[in-house]
Amino acid sequence: MDDDEAVTRALAGDLGAYEVLVTRYSAIAHRTASLLGAGDEAEDVVQDAFVRAFRHLRSFRRDASFRPWFLRIVANVTHDLTRSRGRRSDLAVRLEREPYTPDGPDDPESAAVGADGRSRLYEAVRRLPAGEREAVVCRYFLQLSEAETAEVLGVRLGTVKSRTFRALRRLREEVGREHL
């Protein structure tokens, strides 16, 4: 069952169809919440986001994609949480829990060099201004398109492009081109 059919059936009262969406998007919702600052409260954020999405399912634009619409809800719930607790979580700590290693090296020396580069990169990402950090997290850690990132963050496409450009420029200066 695709997202459109699941939404249609959920709107008609089929809770099993909504469960399909919950199953399909739980992992990326949890990762999004964690990377955007929920930390140990990511599971609560994800549950709250699914409840809010279900309550507002009727306002979902049927010509849009469900994934970015839902991830925007996750981002909003996460922002509410981080604002309410009055502090930001450390991105490096969050990323260590779920490291981004697409095809890690097999030998220990390469693994150590790779780990050092990753930790330098994570630290540099953590120090980016909030808007730039969020754009980088969505684009490269969550692998969202520019359009999906704009929708998730609630900004224009041009804003995503400029934030990403500035962030990558800063990261290149700080970490070096060999790690990007």
Q: Are 91 and 126 in contact (CB under 8 A)?
A: yes
Tell me the DSSP string of 1-65. Answer: --HHHHHHHHHTT-HHHHHHHHHHHHHHHHHHHIIIIIGGGHHHHHHHHHHHHHHTGGGS-TTS-
pLDDT digits 0-9 by tens, 100-157: 444 444 555 455 555 666 778 888 888 889 899 989 988 988 888 999 999 889 999 9
For residue range 46-80, what is the model confidence (pLDDT) as tens digits?
A: 999 999 999 999 999 888 899 999 999 999 998 88
**How buried is residue 68: exposed, middle or buried, by Cβ count under 10 Å (0-12/13-18/19+)?**
buried
Average pLDDT over residues 32-47: 89
Residue 115 has a pLDDT of 63
pLDDT of residue 98: 47
Q: What are the C-alpha distances in Å from 21 to residues 70, 89, 164? A: 10, 28, 29
Q: How far apart are CA 5 and CA 7, in angstroms?
A: 5
